[in-house]
Every structure is written in C-alpha cells, then in structure tokens.
C-alpha cells in the first residue's frame, strides 16, 4: 500500500499500533518521539514482526525529536529524510492530554498542549509537505480526537488543540488536493493507551461519568479502522460505532447531547 511512513508518536499507543499494521502490510516506517528508550523498544517489537514474515526489505528507523521544537524539527528531519527517501505517508500522532477542571489546568500545561498537539503537527507538516510536493504527492493523517469534534467536560486545553487540528486539516485538505497530497483526520474516541492511563490521574469525576458511556477501544482496532478509512479515501475517520453515533447525534441534536451531558454532571455533583 505505502512504501515509507513517518509516524510521530510512533513509539507508543495508537501510533505504535498503526506502525505494526503498516509493517505487516510491507511499509517501512520511521518512528518519531522524544524518548530514545521507548523508541528502541518499539523498533525491536516491529523488527520481530518483520523477522517472522517474508518482508525482509521492510525497514524500521527511529528519530528522537521533540515535535514542538521547530528548530530541532528543521535541523533534524529534512537531512534524515534525505537519507531514507521521502515518505508517501505522514502520520502526525504525537500528542499529550491533561484533563482537569478549567481552573486546575496550569497555564504551562495549556501552552504545552497547544505547542505539542497543534504546534508539533504544524512543525512536522512544514518540514514534510514541501518534500512530498516535490516528490509528486502523498498522504497525511493528522490525529485529532472525538474531543476535537465535541467539547468534552474537563478537556478545555486538549479540546482547544484538537478542534484546531480539525480546522487545520480541513483547510490543508483543500489546499493540497491539486498537488496530489491527500490530507485526512483521525478522530478516535477513548482508546486503551498509556496516555489514557495517565489521564486517569487528573480526570474529573464528571468526565469519567460522561465518557464511561462510550467505552474504550483497543489501539489495534483504531489502527485497522484508520488503514481501512485511508483505503476508502475517507477525509474524516471516526473509529467505532459509539464515536460515530455520538458525532452524528451532536450534529443533528446538539441540545439533546448537552442535556445528556448536563444530566451526568448533575448526577455526579449530587453524590
């Protein structure tokens, strides 16, 4: 399907699950994240999959990089891609989330969330899009969230960054189409990853009650739905029935969704 994919946030969770599916289908991958330890572990786990298959030419490379540091991205990524070749798939999945009540989210946390989730995506796009254009095209997946479509209780900073990614992706889609670059947006619901486990530490009780209604998806399922969505040339990919129905309900009956959210909040505050 694809020859070479760059995956930011490829060392963990959904990004690693996507990398797994890609190497299984014969795509070489470049994993980008900040910490070398998890990158090395992810590389080893992917190489194990490759060694058990017939696709020995599939390569796994890693690049330790903070996507929010635009100078670092400019300095490290283009020379790296000079060596490896230009990717035909870019997956922008690096992200963080810090849920809490609005007054309990430190300004620094808000800044970091915007700088990594939105700024990081912008920085990587800025480095890769010109190369993809020169190479004749490619596919870009930006990772938003269901919380980037429906403002979720406790996720003010995160939702701001993820809504922004939807706007960025819609505009970019229209702009890149004539240059042969397909831009897509992935909006997963709650998915069982280290990030979700981390969120549990600060997630307000009200958020737990509201999101508890939707369940949690496996990262492998999200990855498979993404690849299927790419194959079907979908712009917005929302994995899972509950995610899709929630989005549909919100578009058709926003007052009903607000009513359900308010009821959950009231029930938590009564106890």
Ligand X SMILES: NC(=O)c1ccc[n+]([C@@H]2O[C@H](COP(=O)([O-])OP(=O)(O)OC[C@H]3O[C@@H](n4cnc5c(N)ncnc54)[C@H](OP(=O)(O)O)[C@@H]3O)[C@@H](O)[C@H]2O)c1
Q: What is the rounded distance in angstroms from the CA atom of residue 221 to the CA atom of residue 175? A: 30
- State yes or no: residue 212 binds ligand X (CB under 6 A): no
Among candidate residues 98, 155, 158, 211, the one labeled active-site is 158
Site string for ligand X, 104-143 (x = CB under 6 A): ------------x---x----------------------x
Among candidate residues 11, 12, 28, 144, the one labeled active-site is 144
Q: How far is the CB of 73 from ligand X (least distance, A)?
A: 9
Look up residue 102 and give its DSSP letter. G
Q: What is the rounded distance in angstroms from the CA atom of residue 190 to the CA atom of residue 188? A: 7
Strand partners, 233: none
Lay out the sheet containing 89-92: strands in order across. Answer: 60-64, 28-33, 4-8, 89-92, 138-143, 181-186, 236-237
Q: How far is the CB of 185 from ligand X (least distance, A)?
A: 11
Q: What is the rounded distance in angstroms from the CA atom of residue 18 to the CA atom of residue 24? A: 10
Query: Is the distance from CB of 34 to CB of 8 less than 8 angstroms?
Result: no
Q: What is the rounded distance in angstroms from the CA atom of residue 93 to the CA atom of residue 236? A: 15
φ, ψ dihedrals at 100, nearest 5°: -175, 170
Q: Which of 28, 113, 123, 191 binds ligand X (CB under 6 A)?
A: 191
Q: How far is the CB of 265 from ligand X (least distance, A)?
A: 21
Mark whether 91 is an active-site residue: no
Q: How far is the CB of 245 from ligand X (least distance, A)?
A: 16
The CB-side HSE value for 111 (13 A sphere, CA atoms) comes to 4
Q: Which of 67, 118, 223, 226 binds ligand X (CB under 6 A)?
A: 67
Residue range at the interface with ligand X (CB under 6 A); choices 13-21, 83-91, 125-133, 261-269: 13-21
- State yes or no: residue 11 binds ligand X (CB under 6 A): yes
Q: What is the rounded distance in angstroms from the CA atom of residue 194 to the CA atom of residue 249? A: 29
| Residues lying near ligand X in the complex (CB under 6 A) | 8-9, 11-15, 32-35, 38, 65-68, 93-97, 116, 120, 143, 145, 188, 190-191, 193-196
Please list the active-site residues: 144, 158, 162
């Amino acid at each position: 399907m694809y020859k070479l994919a760059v995956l930011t946030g490829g060392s963990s969770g959904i990004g690693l699950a996507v990398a797994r599916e890609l190497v299984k289908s014969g795509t070489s991958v470049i994993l980008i994240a900040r910490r070398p330890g998890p990158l090395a572990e992810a590389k080893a786990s992917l190489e194990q999959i490759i060694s058990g298959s017939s696709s020995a030419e599939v390569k796994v490379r890693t690049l330790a990089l903070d996507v929010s540091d635009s100078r670092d991205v400019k300095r490290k990524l283009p020379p790296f891609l000079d060596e490896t070749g230009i990717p035909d798939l870019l997956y922008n999945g690096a992200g963080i989330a810090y849920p809490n009540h609005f007054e309990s989210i430190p300004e620094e946390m808000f800044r970091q969330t915007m700088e990594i989730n939105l700024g990081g995506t912008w920085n990587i796009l800025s480095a890769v899009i010109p190369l993809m254009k020169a190479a004749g095209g490619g596919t870009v997946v930006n990772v938003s969230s269901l919380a980037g479509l429906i403002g979720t209780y406790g996720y003010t900073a995160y939702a701001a960054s993820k809504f922004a990614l939807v706007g960025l992706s819609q505009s970019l889609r229209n702009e890149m189409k004539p240059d042969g670059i397909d831009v897509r947006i992935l909006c997963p619901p709650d998915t069982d990853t280290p990030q979700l486990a981390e969120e549990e530490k600060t997630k307000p009780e009200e958020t737990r009650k509201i999101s508890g209604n939707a369940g949690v998806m496996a990262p492998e399922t999200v990855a498979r739905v993404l690849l299927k969505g790419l194959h079907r040339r979908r712009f917005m990919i929302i994995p899972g029935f509950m995610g899709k129905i929630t989005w549909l309900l919100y578009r058709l009956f926003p007052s009903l969704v607000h009513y359900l959210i308010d009821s959950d909040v009231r029930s938590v505050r009564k106890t």
